[in-house]
Amino acid sequence: MLKPEILDPQGQAVQRALPRLGFEGISDVRQGKRFELEVDGPIDEAALARIRDLAESFLANTVIEDFTVKVEEGAEVAEAAK
């Protein structure tokens, strides 16, 4: 996701269009991107550390973006935020 201090023209365009489409009460829209990774083997702290490093060094532009690493296994969800 773009950091809060970075302008988000795409999010602003969506926000302006929502009332015309009948969606009221949305005060802000921020646009982002998502990567889904399938990992071989167990997701332990070492694996999460490698994935966070991958996100920080390759997937996200950390000058203007924040990222979150989220692990989903069936109905169980654990989050590990940067």
Residues 46, 65 within the same domain: yes
Q: Could you give the number of structural domains in the chain?
A: 2
Count of Cβ atoms closer than 10 Å to residue 52 Cβ: 16
Residue written as token pair 């994935």:
51
Query: Are 43 and 28 contained in the same domain?
Result: no
74 has a pLDDT exceeding 90: no
Structure-block tokens of residue 44: 């332990």
Tokens of 78: 């654990």
For residues 38 and 65, membership in a common domain is answered with yes
23 and 2, same structural domain? yes
Alpha helices in the chain (DSSP H): 9-17, 45-54
Is there a single domain that holds both residue 43 and residue 19? no
For the stretch 15-68, pLDDT in tens is: 999 999 999 999 999 999 999 999 998 999 999 999 999 999 999 999 999 999
73 pLDDT tier (thresholds 50, 70, 90):
confident
Residues 6+ apart with CB under 8 A from 72: none
pLDDT of residue 44: 93
Answer whether residue 76 is part of any domain.
no
Asked whether residue 49 is domain-assigned, the answer is yes
**pLDDT score recorded for residue 76:** 42
| Structural domain containing residue 5 | 1-32
3-state secondary structure at position 58: helix
pLDDT for residue 77: 44
